[in-house]
Structure 1
Amino acid sequence: MRVETRLFGEIDIAEEKIITLGRGLIGYPDMKRFTLIFDEEKQGKIMWLQSLDEPQFAMPVVDPAGICADYNPTVNDELLTPLGQFSEESLFVLVTIRVPSDITRMTINLKGPIIINTDNLRGEQIIVEDEVQTRFPIYDILKSRKEKAGE
């Protein structure tokens, strides 16, 4: 499948790389088909959730485990039913990144993770039951890690 995107130009997406979010993203229920595009400059830390239904839409996402090692959201099992059969190991969790004009105020949304079953690429964005931040600051964390890595 070929898609003309706003950020990445024309890209070719293999059918087996298409992620289906059954209810779409919160606020974007009609966008259900996505793919992940890895930002090579960020060495895979930041990815883009690229919509295939609305090619002009792409949202930065990140695996929260690389930022908040203790992030382990409580999820109502009923919310995961649309993912089909899965094991804990087959679940991939992403959180959205908010990048304002002042990049030092960059945050992630820990309250609304996107959970993907890597066995069948079905996913859902859900609201977790835990008291966690919708705007968890990450700029200093990313900057510190970059400095430690000598980048």
Structure 2
Amino acid sequence: MKINTARFGEMDVSEERLMTFANGIPGLEHFTTYCLLPADDKDESPFYFLQSTEESGLCFFLADPFSFYPNYEVNLDDSTLNQLNIEDPKQALVLAILTVQGSLKDATMNLKAPLIINTAQRTGKQLVLKQEYGIKEPLLKRVTAEESE
């Protein structure tokens, strides 16, 4: 499938990269089909792009939150598991939306509302967690002088 993007130009996207968000993403409910692209060609980076197939200018920069916050926890309730048809936890990919203003060292990630993707069914949704996480957590934790001693 060919899609036009503001960031990457025209792209040929394979079907297995397409993701459906049945209810869209909050605030963008009318856009339901996205393409999940790894930030590198080897699929080794914790970074991804989620490009809308319906709106060329709509692209999210995402990261694997566990790569930056190893103690991060996402508890999926039965409703989410059923909605996304997740039968095996290995089917669930959890990604956080990044906000980058300036350089990556100042980027923040939304740990409060991660994207949950069923990699087998290629469906997803944004989930607002009950846990006490912030929407603007630093991507790269600052190391204070006390911590480095």
Structure-2-length-normalised TM-score: 0.85
Deviation at residue 25 of structure 1 after TM alignment = 1.1
Q: Deviations over 1:105-149 (max 9, x none)?
A: 3100001110011111111111011111111101347xxxxxxxx
Q: Does the 8 Å contact 1:34/1:49 carry over to 2?
A: yes
Match for 2:63: what amino acid? V
Q: Deviations over 1:36-64 (max 9, x none)?
A: 12222995222111111112211100111
Q: Any runs of at least 4 consecutive aligned residues in structure 1 with deviations exceeding 3 A, and if so which?
A: 101-104
Superposed counterparts of 1:18-33, under 5 Å: 18-33=18-33
Q: Secondary structure at the match of 2:16?
A: helix
Which of the two has greater helix per residue? 1
For 2:81 and 2:22, the matched residues in 1 are separated by 11
SS class of match (2:24): coil
Q: TM-score, normalised by structure 1?
A: 0.84
Q: Which stretch of the first structure deviates more once superposed, 55-64 or 33-42?
A: 33-42
The size of the alignment, in residue pairs, is 141
Given residue 89 of structure 1, which amino acid in structure 2 is its aligned partner? K
Aligned equivalents of 1:47 and 1:10: distance in 2?
A: 18
Superposition CA RMSD, Å: 2.0
> Which position in structure 2 is the counterpart of 1:68?
69
State the AA in 2 paired with 1:76.
Answer: D
Aligned to 1:136: 137
Kindly state the Cα deviation for residue 102 of structure 1 after the two structures are TM-superposed. 5.7
Q: In structure 2, the residue corresponding to 1:139 is in which secondary structure?
A: coil
For residue 85 of structure 1, report the CA deviation from its aligned partner. Answer: 4.0
Unaligned stretches of 5+ in structure 2? Answer: 143-149
Q: CA deviation at 1:97?
A: 0.2
1:32 partner letter:
T
Q: Which stretch has the larger CA shift, 88-97 or 43-52?
A: 43-52
Which letter maps to 1:35?
A: C
